[in-house]
Amino acid sequence: MDLLKGCNQLAAACILLQNYPKQGGRHDFFLALGGGLAKSGLPLEDAKALLIPVINASGDEEAGARINDIENTYRKFSGGDLNITGWNQVKEFIDPKAIKKLGEFLEIKISYVVPRTDSNSFDAEVWTTPVSLQSVKVNPMLPEMLPEAIRDFAIDVAYRTDVPLDFTATALICFLGNVMGRKYSVQPKNNNHKWKEFPNLWGAIIADPSSRKSTCNFEK
């Protein structure tokens, strides 16, 4: 562990220790904290490395139960359980400003679920620290990644419209998926004839304005 990462982890531990809940709320707190850390992408081992010293320093007589809360929550999250609590519930114990600093020290994104405002709306997550697209490194698409049947056409359109191959490949693959529709399917399990996956594909080209995103979609 480098010095800066160690200092950041110590600062995060201090925030948690300073806001360690009193008896009666610790179980709910650690369930929510575990859910928040899991949803933010912090590996379980890193979470335990952070929390075990905090729990021990607090003098909590049920230290083992706290670790079990964290492990069980991570296990449920890995199993696809969407009912686990998270940062919304952590806010009941820790000030949101402190939670924001916690996320900065741990280099994770803190997100909250927005309550529904009407019966037709869907729950949504709000990112408190949006990620800049310029900071995301994406490997270039290579012609070899495309099936031979469409490779030359995709390369030709990309050349003539002066756009990256990614643009034409995205549009072309989604178009082919729509053409096939429900005529073809994949059966993932040999003896399960009810589970079929159809080539229904959705794609989006994300790029700067005036970068000819729409041009390749209308090319023939």
CB 149 within 8 A of CB 176: no
Does 136 fall in a domain? no
Residues 76 and 160 in one domain: no
Residues 51 and 150 in one domain: no
For 105-122, give the DSSP string: HHT---EEEEPPSSTT--
Does 135 fall in a domain? no
Domain that holds residue 104: 3-129
Which of 104, 129, 154 is where one domain is finished? 129
Residues 123 and 59 in one domain: yes
* Interval 49-86: pLDDT, tens: 999 999 999 998 888 999 999 999 999 888 887 788 89
pLDDT of residue 220: 56
* Interval 5-61: pLDDT, tens: 889 899 999 999 999 988 888 999 999 999 999 988 899 999 999 999 999 999 988
User: How many domains in the chain?
Assistant: 2
Residues 124 and 153 in one domain: no
Write the DSSP symbol of residue 144.
Answer: G
Residues 77 and 182 in one domain: no
Rounded CA separation 49/76 (Å): 20
